[in-house]
C-alpha cells in the first residue's frame, strides 16, 4: 500500500446494540412469502432446529455473525432486482418451507461444521464472506457449497480490530468501490483524480478511503438537499476529517446552479482533470460528472438514486470522446474465479488492517428488530453521514 496510516476507532459511531457472542442452538431468520415493501412483507421467524439441508459433499455450515441491509436487499424483497445469471445457485431452504425466501445477500460468518470435499482452504473456525448473491444471509446459520464462500485469512484479526458488524459491511461496499477504482482506468498514483457523486453513500465513503491508500485524490459531490449549512459542514467534515488533501467535498447544487463554480473547480484541478467519474445518481448530477471528466476519460455508473436517466450530450462524445460504462458487483462476483475473488477480499482486509481504511458508520439491530431497523433507516436523514443497518444474526429475538 502506498499510504500506511494507523487504524483509528470512531467511538461516535459505536453500535447501540452490541453484537452478541452468545452461541445459540436454535434457528431464526428474516424471510418473506411474497414480494412487496419490506416493512410489510418481511417477517421474523424462530424455530427450535435449523431447516433440513442436503447432506452433500463439499457443503459447509456457516454460523452467520452479521449481515448488512444494502439497497439491493430492499430491491430483492420488492421483486425489482434481476439475477446476474439465468440459473442462479438455489438458496438454502427457509425454515418456513419452500415458498418462503430468506432476505439478505451479503454477510460475515464462521464455519462451524463441514462435509468432506470443501475447497479453498476452508476449515472449521474459518471466517468467511459470501461469494454468491441471493443466499439469504439474514438468519442464524445455513449450509452452503464451499464454492459460495470466500475464506477471510485475517478474519480473526479483522474481528478483533473492527468487530463483526464492520467486517460484514466491508465486502460489498468495498468490493464495488475497489473494482471501479481498479478496472476501468489506469490512474497515476501521483496525479490520479476521481470525481464521484453521492460521496456520502456507503460505496462513496469506501471509494474515497480506498483511493487514498493508492494516493489517488477524490472529489466528492454531495447533494445539499434539505441539510442546513451547519449540517452540510458537519457531513463534509465527517467525510474529510481524516483524509484532508485527499477527499474534497463539494455541494452538487453549487455547481449545478453556478457555471463560475464549475470553472473555479476546473481551474483548481488544472492539468489533473479526473480520468474516472463514478456515478450513483444519474440525471443532472451525472451530466455534471461528464462535464468535469478529462477528455477520453470514463464515467462508470453503478446506481440510479435519482431514478433519472443518464444522458450524454453529443459534443461530449465527439469532441471529448468520453467513455460511458456500467458496473454491477453481483455480475463481477458471478463471473470471477474464486481465486480472484479471494485476492480482492485479501486486499480489502489488508486495506483496513494495514492501510487505516475505516468502514462507514453503522447501527446494529437484532433480526427480530427489523421494523425498528427500517424505521431508523428512513428517519436518520439529519445525520451527517447515514448509518448502515447491520443485523446481528446471532442475537435472540424476544
Ligand atoms: N452496481 C452495484 O454493484 C452496486 C453495489 C452497491 C451499491 N449500489 C448502488 O449504489 C447506490 C449507493 O449504495 P450505498 O449502499 O452506498 O447507499 P447508501 O449508503 O444507502 O447511501 C445512499 C446515499 O445516496 C444519497 N442520495 C440518495 N438519493 C440521492 C439523489 N437523488 N441524489 C444524490 N444523492 C442521493 C443519500 O445522501 P443524502 O440523502 O444525504 O443526499 C445517501 O447518502 C445505491 O443506488 C445502490 O443500489 C450498486
Provide the sign of the torsion angle of the four alpha carbons 103, 104, 105, 110, taken in this order. Answer: negative
Distances (CA, A) of 20 to 83, 106, 170: 33, 19, 19
Retrieve residue 272's grid coordinates.
Answer: 489533473
Closest CA to 341 of 174, 98, 160: 174
**Is there an atom of ligand 1 within 6 Å of 71 CB?**
yes
Atom of ligand 1 nearest to the CA of 223: 41
Q: Name the active-site residue from 7, 27, 81, 243.
A: 81
For residue 35, the model assigns a pLDDT of: 98
What is the residue with the minimal CA distance to atom 2 of ligand 1?
A: 328
For residue 120, the model assigns a pLDDT of: 59
Residues of the chain with pLDDT under 50: 1-19, 23
For residue 2, the model assigns a pLDDT of: 35
Distance 357 CA to ligand 1 centre (A): 20
What is the residue with the minimal CA distance to atom 22 of ligand 1?
A: 201
Which residue of 78, 203, 282 sits with most ligand 1 atoms within 8 Å of its CB, as the best mutation to test the pocket? 203
Residue 44 is a catalytic residue: no
CA distance linking residue 149 with residue 104, whole number of Å: 15
Q: Which is it for strands 127-130 and 108-114: parallel, antiparallel or unpaired?
A: antiparallel
Distance 242 CA to ligand 1 centre (A): 22
- Report if pTM > 0.75: yes
Distances (CA, A) of 160 to 7, 55, 127, 346, 353: 12, 33, 12, 16, 10
What is the residue with the minimal CA distance to atom 21 of ligand 1?
A: 201
Retrieve residue 370's grid coordinates.
Answer: 427489523
| Structure letter (DSSP) for residue 124 | T
Q: What are phi and psi of 289, to 5 degrees?
A: -60, -45
Element containing residue 392 per DSSP (H, E): strand 388-392
For residue 332, the model assigns a pLDDT of: 96
**Is there an atom of ligand 1 within 6 Å of 305 CB?**
yes
Distance 354 CA to ligand 1 centre (A): 27
For residue 9, the model assigns a pLDDT of: 32
**Is there an atom of ligand 1 within 6 Å of 306 CB?**
yes
Atom of ligand 1 nearest to the CA of 388: 19
What is the residue with the minimal CA distance to atom 34 of ligand 1?
A: 198
For residue 243, the model assigns a pLDDT of: 60
Atom of ligand 1 nearest to the CA of 70: 15
Q: Are the C-beta atoms of residues 16 and 364 closer than 8 Å to each other?
A: yes
CA distance linking residue 35 with residue 370, whole number of Å: 16
Distance 281 CA to ligand 1 centre (A): 7
Distance 146 CA to ligand 1 centre (A): 31
**Is there an atom of ligand 1 within 6 Å of 202 CB?**
yes
Which residue is listed with cell 470466500?
150
**Is there an atom of ligand 1 within 6 Å of 176 CB?**
yes
Amino acid at each position: 500500500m502506498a499510504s500506511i496510516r494507523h487504524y483509528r476507532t470512531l467511538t461516535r459511531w459505536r453500535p447501540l446494540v452490541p453484537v452478541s457472542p452468545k452461541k445459540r442452538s436454535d434457528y431464526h431468520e428474516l424471510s418473506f412469502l411474497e414480494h412487496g415493501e419490506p416493512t410489510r412483507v418481511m417477517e421474523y421467524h424462530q424455530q427450535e432446529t435449523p431447516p433440513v439441508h442436503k447432506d452433500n459433499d463439499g457443503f459447509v455450515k456457516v454460523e452467520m455473525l452479521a449481515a448488512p441491509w444494502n439497497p439491493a436487499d430492499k430491491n430483492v424483497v420488492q421483486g425489482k432486482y434481476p439475477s446476474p445469471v439465468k440459473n442462479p445457485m438455489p438458496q438454502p431452504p427457509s425454515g418456513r418451507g419452500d415458498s418462503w425466501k430468506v432476505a439478505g445477500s451479503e454477510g460475515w460468518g464462521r464455519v462451524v461444521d463441514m462435509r468432506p470435499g470443501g475447497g479453498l482452504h476452508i476449515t472449521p473456525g474459518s471466517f468467511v464472506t459470501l461469494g454468491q448473491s441471493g443466499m439469504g444471509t439474514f438468519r442464524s446459520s445455513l449450509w452452503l457449497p464451499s464454492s459460495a464462500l470466500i475464506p477471510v485469512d485475517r478474519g480473526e484479526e479483522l474481528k478483533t480490530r473492527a468487530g463483526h458488524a464492520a467486517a460484514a459491511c466491508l465486502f460489498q461496499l468495498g468490493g464495488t468501490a475497489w473494482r471501479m477504482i481498479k478496472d476501468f482506468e489506469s490512474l497515476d498514483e501521483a496525479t490520479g483524480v476521481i470525481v464521484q457523486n453521492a460521496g456520502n453513500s456507503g460505496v462513496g465513503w469506501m471509494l474515497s478511503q480506498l483511493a487514498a491508500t493508492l494516493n489517488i485524490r477524490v472529489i466528492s459531490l454531495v447533494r445539499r438537499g434539505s441539510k442546513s449549512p451547519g449540517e452540510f459542514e458537519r457531513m463534509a467534515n465527517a467525510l474529510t476529517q481524516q483524509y484532508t488533501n485527499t477527499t474534497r467535498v463539494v455541494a452538487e447544487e453549487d455547481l449545478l446552479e453556478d457555471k463560475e463554480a464549475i470553472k473555479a473547480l476546473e481551474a483548481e484541478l488544472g492539468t489533473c482533470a479526473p480520468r474516472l467519474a463514478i456515478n450513483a445518481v444519474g440525471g443532472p448530477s451525472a451530466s455534471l460528472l461528464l462535464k468535469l471528466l478529462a477528455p477520453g476519460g470514463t464515467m462508470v455508473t453503478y446506481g440510479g438514486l435519482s431514478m433519472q436517466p443518464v444522458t450524454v450530450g453529443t459534443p461530449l462524445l465527439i469532441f471529448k470522446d468520453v467513455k460511458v460504462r456500467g458496473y454491477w458487483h453481483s455480475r463481477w462476483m458471478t463471473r470471477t474465479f474464486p481465486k480472484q475473488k479471494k485476492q480482492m477480499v485479501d486486499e480489502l482486509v489488508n486495506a483496513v488492517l494495514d492501510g487505516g481504511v475505516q468502514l462507514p458508520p453503522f447501527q446494529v439491530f437484532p433480526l427480530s428488530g427489523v421494523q425498528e431497523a427500517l424505521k431508523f433507516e428512513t428517519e436518520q436523514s439529519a445525520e451527517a453521514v447515514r448509518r448502515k443497518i447491520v443485523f446481528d444474526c446471532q442475537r435472540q429475538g424476544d
